[in-house]
Structure 1
Amino acid sequence: MNEIRQRIKSLRLELLKRNLDAWYISGTDPHASEYLPERWQTRAFISGFTGSYGVVVITQEEAGLWTDSRYFLQAEEQLKGSGIKMYKLRVADAVSPEEWLSKKLQRNSKVGFDPQTLSVSGYKTMNNSLKKTGISMVETSDLFERIWEDRPAIPADEVFDYKHAHTGISRRGKKELLAAELKKHNADFQVITALDELAWLFNLRGSDIPFNPVFTGYGVAGKNDWILFVDNAKIPNQLKIHLEKEKIELRPYSAFPAWLKSVKGKTVFIDPTSASFSVFSTLQNENKIVEGISPVSMLKARKNKTELSGFREAMKKDGVALLEFLFWLKENVKNNTVTEFDAAKKLAWFRSLQPDFKGESFSPIMGYREHGAIVHLSVNKDNALPLRPEGILLFDTGGQYLQGTTDITRTVALGKVTAQQKTDYTLVLKGMIALSLARFPEGTKGCNLDILARKPLWEHGLNYGHGTGHGVGHFLNVHEGPVSIRQEFNEVPLQPGMVLSNEPGLYREGEYGIRTENMIVCVEKEKTSFGNFLGFETLTLCPIDTNLIDISLLSEKERNWLNAYHNKVRSELKPLVREELVRFLEELTENQ
């Protein structure tokens, strides 16, 4: 922790040189990424906290890190001795970083920030709040360049072509779809800064960020514009020829800021949640800016038939790997030689045996006993608990296949369990089933449905602190916007083709955690005189542990759903698994 304290001291010296009272660290990169290449892991560098979400504020006297309930326990542990205090977000009575700064700093104070790594909406929220107390925000250079010795370079991994057989629509076709959307806003082009949007629009993939098949770049697309800003060395010659034939102009990544300055007299569409304030401030004086939810993001979220077919294929592969893992777990946990870390590695290995496997879709969460209560736990060899033939194990993992991305959580009994564990597990399952069975009119938003997953828990005075569902990309990021199912308002309605997670949970700190997660796709259900009604189809194929269910708490409708789901899992996976696993599969999916 001395190292962290020294880094904070070095940063404070840089603030003194610039007459700044504080510096705001968004904890992301110029593309508003959730998961980051090493170069942009600034939050971890300055604080030691390795979670995927959080902001840091450094003043001359104090330092704070803000994160949400997924990371409360982890942050408390990792920040010990750093001099940085953790503050909770997304809870009742939460104090935001800007509110905290308003209380800590005097009128006429100056808060510095790097405009490359703060989104337009993030800047506006902060600035509007700080202005009320006479505090101003000041753009600075990237101060990490001054204090981070041997800072990693921008990744140089190769980009590869993602074939039409998987995408279902060509680059040209996507450009035309985008141009039609931009026409509605009278915009000449959109500046694309989010890496998953860039990868989707240009039908390209990369490996610059662990678990996310994206590459570092920027894009510009509209009826008459088609530019990809990416380092030349990242594009293989054959792909370069293809892109140039399609009249896609290739420019270096570093040329993007200068190009922005050259744009004049245009109507430019940007998404304020992903575009940096640097992009906005460069364009605003000489152009008209239209802000809104990225049309690329909306097009990407509504999966086409080819993409959905790919997801279903990926689920079969994932299902076989998961069944192999469950069988291995049953056989090996009784030997008292397996740890959480070993189990995570073994599941990744089973996935790797599947054709077209391209890696895990996020860092695996394998939580036994009290570790299960740490929502986004990441164990290593040193802190992994040994598994015993008792209690419950929560594992939240996923795979990247050329056909699609998977994300699944199962909680399983390793032996004897308590009555309370069975009740908790069943209440979580009831919430998951309720969302799976939901029917709702067109135009319904995720926040309108979130109550379905929580109601069984709320009725018993229980709750969970994270969202219920996030969008999932197609061989892309496992967390995908713009749609979600959570209590916070999200203006984007659920639409057919959107793929999401369905993952209620329950966590008893120091005891255990429970979560059951399937991936679902929004589908059309029926048309009545009251309008079009939508619902969900479950995509994930993996047994739900019936040893943990208190059947007396399930209604007939819920039991019917469970049996129908297990019948589907059995029929889909049975032809694909080796003979030794057929009987095991049948046992796990017996009717209740």
Structure 2
Amino acid sequence: MRQTFNETTDPSFGARHLPLVRAEMRRQGLDGLLVPHEDEHQNEYLPEANDRLAWLTGFTGSAGAAVIFQDRAAVFTDGRYTIQVRAQTDPDLFEIRDLIEGGVAAYLEEAAKGSVIGYDPRLHSPDALAKLKAAAERAGASLKPVEVNPIDAAWADRPPQPQARITPHPLEYAGEESASKRSRVGQVIAKAGADAAVVTAPSSIAWLFNVRGGDVSRTPLPLAQAIVDADGSARLFVDQAKVGDDLRGWLGNEVSIQPPAALEAALDELSGKAVLIDPAQSSAWYFDRLEKAGARVVRGPDPCALPRAAKNPAELAGSRQAHIRDGAALSRFLHWAATEAQTLLPDEKTVVGTLERFREETGALQDLSFDTIAGAGPNGAVIHYRPTESTNRRVETGTLLLVDSGGQYLDGTTDVTRTVAIGEPTAEMRDRFTRVLKGHIALARARFPEGTTGSQLDALARVPLWEAGLDYDHGTGHGVGVYLGVHEGPQRISKAPNTQALLPGMILSNEPGFYKPGHWGIRIENLIVVTPPEELPGGERPMMGFETITFAPIDRTLIDPTLLTPEERQWLDAYHAQVLEKVGPGVPAETSDWLKKACAPL
């Protein structure tokens, strides 16, 4: 389902809801309350019933938190939502703080002295909670788990939990039977020294059982939990309203479908057993319950995460087809942006609607993979900006339009960013764009040995910017699922340390950028697949690399050819030749004529 909170500006949420929550806090003897954005499943995108942060504050971004005291309150978010959080929250009620620099922990040390601060153990992972507990102790405060979340108690008109039907995900797309996956996961569980694993991440549930759902905005996920035994058998805990006869037959006899109310007793039955559970993905409530039941908790990664990240041949084939289909829709949009939009000068919401229409006309779109980012001029400099009624801006001649978007298809998930010139670009725009392009090409062409992590490759995309004293303040690449989440771990490419080696079949984004605050933003994003190691002529070690699977033209008017090396020009010409070959047959005649020019060699 899609988010239905007021996504424009509603600072009145705080004035209406804060008093209700504070009254419930007093009733429970709490001086403060932690309010994370995450829900019981640690989702990034939430069903409306679980978006407690939005209900309390009015802020609807996908990353954030709040801390509420009786006499003060703060909302935390990162640089992607600087404008949005100020538009959606009441500055007289909420102090705006940075989620990354210092974050909630630093605020607790500053403001929580001697306080009793409540937290809902179902909403915090143990890893995240440990940092907050340490900060509270330094402030002479204490964190207290609550039985009933004060927000839930105060939220009188809370929507019901979603009950979207869970559907089988056909083998032609999944590429491997659920029984085979459960057998492999069972081996991982046994290798970790455990008898069973508790799996709570909806993306892992969907992947493991070859099912998809509709409980989460922009992502085809079911809200459910599972206990998987080392022998590959499993219990799936899910609302029976989501289950049809087709699902029971699909899952087979080795999977027992049980109601959510049976989960607590099932955890208690693990007494005396070693149970694997991920402290970064599952909430503290599970750990508390298992320890109370007498189980031996084995802390370790979600056993589905790595197998899910390394795509099988069917998933890769489907992803390639999804990107060709999506590339045709995007090329139609880019043709519109390069022609009609240059004189129409539409607003950002029109840009968003036009692109979505082209995707819908493929006849295969299930949903967007995230809300489209369309930033005109200065809005393009706001990373992860999203147009609202209050910020909606018309494109203007002499500026740039940044569009980051994607689609959910049965055979794949797409995520692509293109920056286009509106009118004649300046020399500065062309210089910055070409440097971003050089970084993009450097990463796309990279060769690296087994064991290499994304953190070790991140600098390749930044060097052309660094050479001019420039940089960007976001990661270069995130993992992407297959008709699953558009953001997927454990792989990533960023400055931040990451110990996960890149493995063949992993899909990541390649998205360096540059942003001039108050003026414009630039980002070029394709999805790439890690290729198997192969011997290079004259080499001594097998090397892996990347296969680019996104196909859409890159704006030639923004490229300064004099800044490109012969190898970079060769890569770009070869890429555009592939775009024309793969996408050209799927676009109408008028777009085809434009595409031939847009993809011509430099």
> TM-score surpassing 0.5?
yes
Contact 2:13/2:58 (8 A) holds in 1? no
Out of 50, 58, 69, the position equivalent to 2:60 is 50
Structure 2 letter corresponding to 1:129: A
| CA displacement, residues 401-421 of structure 1 (integer Å, 9 cap, x when unaligned) | 111000000001121111111
Q: CA deviation at 1:303?
A: 0.3
Out of 251, 263, 272, the position equivalent to 1:256 is 263
2:153 is paired with a residue of what secondary structure?
Answer: helix
Does 1:5 find its partner at 2:15? yes
| CA displacement, residues 506-555 of structure 1 (integer Å, 9 cap, x when unaligned) | 11121111110000011124347754322111110001101001111112
Q: CA deviation at 1:488?
A: 1.1
Structure 1 match to 2:136: 130
2:236 is paired with a residue of what secondary structure?
Answer: strand
Structure 2 match to 1:343: 351
| CA displacement, residues 102-122 of structure 1 (integer Å, 9 cap, x when unaligned) | 122224x32210001111211
Does 1:211 find its partner at 2:218? yes
Following superposition of structure 1 onto structure 2, how do residues 121-520 of structure 1 map, counting pairs within 5 Å? 121-140=127-146, 141-224=148-231, 225-243=233-251, 245-285=252-292, 286-336=294-344, 338-380=346-388, 383-520=391-528
Structure 2 letter corresponding to 1:470: H
Structure 1 match to 2:117: 111
Contact 2:477/2:492 (8 A) holds in 1? yes
Q: Sort the Cα spacing of 1:161 and 1:82 in 2 relative to 1 into closer, same or farther, 3 A.
A: farther
Contact 1:5/1:82 (8 A) holds in 2? no
Q: CA deviation at 1:16?
A: 2.1
CA distance in 1, matches of 2:186, 2:446: 34
Q: Sort the Cα spacing of 1:132 and 1:531 in 2 relative to 1 into closer, same or farther, 3 A.
A: farther
| CA displacement, residues 348-391 of structure 1 (integer Å, 9 cap, x when unaligned) | 11111224321111000111111111211221456422234442
2:339 is paired with a residue of what secondary structure?
Answer: helix
Structure 1 letter corresponding to 2:105: E
2:425 is paired with a residue of what secondary structure?
Answer: coil
**Which ranges of structure 2 fall in alignment gaps of 5 or more residues?**
1-10
CA distance in 1, matches of 2:83, 2:542: 44
Q: CA deviation at 1:80?
A: 4.1
1:441 is paired with a residue of what secondary structure?
Answer: coil
CA distance in 1, matches of 2:132, 2:389: 40
Contact 2:105/2:135 (8 A) holds in 1? yes
CA distance in 2, matches of 1:61, 1:557: 61
Q: CA deviation at 1:335?
A: 4.1
1:387 is paired with a residue of what secondary structure?
Answer: coil
Does 1:588 find its partner at 2:580? no
CA distance in 1, matches of 2:283, 2:540: 42
CA distance in 2, matches of 1:79, 1:532: 53
Q: CA deviation at 1:25?
A: 1.0
Structure 2 match to 1:39: 49
| CA displacement, residues 468-494 of structure 1 (integer Å, 9 cap, x when unaligned) | 110000000100111111111122111
Structure 2 match to 1:545: 555
Out of 522, 527, 530, the position equivalent to 2:530 is 522
CA distance in 1, matches of 2:354, 2:72: 43
Contact 2:167/2:212 (8 A) holds in 1? yes
Structure 1 match to 2:4: none
Q: CA deviation at 1:332?
A: 2.2
Q: CA deviation at 1:577?
A: 2.5
Structure 1 match to 2:7: none
Q: CA deviation at 1:133?
A: 3.8
CA distance in 2, matches of 1:436, 1:330: 26
Q: Sort the Cα spacing of 1:450 and 1:20 in 2 relative to 1 into closer, same or farther, 3 A.
A: same
Structure 1 letter corresponding to 2:131: T
| CA displacement, residues 549-577 of structure 1 (integer Å, 9 cap, x when unaligned) | 11111122211111111111111122332
Q: CA RMSD in A?
A: 1.7
Contact 1:196/1:477 (8 A) holds in 2? yes
Q: CA deviation at 1:29?
A: 0.8
Q: CA deviation at 1:178?
A: 0.3
Q: CA deviation at 1:2?
A: 3.8
2:304 is paired with a residue of what secondary structure?
Answer: helix
**Which ranges of structure 1 fall in alignment gaps of 5 or more residues?**
none
Q: CA deviation at 1:97?
A: 1.1
Q: CA deviation at 1:78?
A: 2.5
Does 1:100 find its partner at 2:107? yes
CA distance in 1, matches of 2:92, 2:182: 48
| CA displacement, residues 226-274 of structure 1 (integer Å, 9 cap, x when unaligned) | 111111111122222332x332101112322332233211111111111
2:301 is paired with a residue of what secondary structure?
Answer: coil
Structure 1 match to 2:6: none
Q: TM-score, normalised by structure 2?
A: 0.94
Contact 1:34/1:53 (8 A) holds in 2? yes
Contact 2:421/2:555 (8 A) holds in 1? yes
Structure 1 letter corresponding to 2:210: N
CA distance in 2, matches of 1:206, 1:82: 40
| CA displacement, residues 10-62 of structure 1 (integer Å, 9 cap, x when unaligned) | 22222222222211111111110000000111111111111100111112222
| CA displacement, residues 255-294 of structure 1 (integer Å, 9 cap, x when unaligned) | 2233223321111111111110001100023111111221
2:455 is paired with a residue of what secondary structure?
Answer: helix
Structure 1 letter corresponding to 2:93: G
Following superposition of structure 1 onto structure 2, how do residues 70-89 of structure 1 map, counting pairs within 5 Å? 70-89=80-99
Structure 2 letter corresponding to 1:358: Q
Structure 2 letter corresponding to 1:261: D
CA distance in 1, matches of 2:82, 2:466: 22
CA distance in 2, matches of 1:413, 1:43: 37
Q: Sort the Cα spacing of 1:468 and 1:554 in 2 relative to 1 into closer, same or farther, 3 A.
A: same
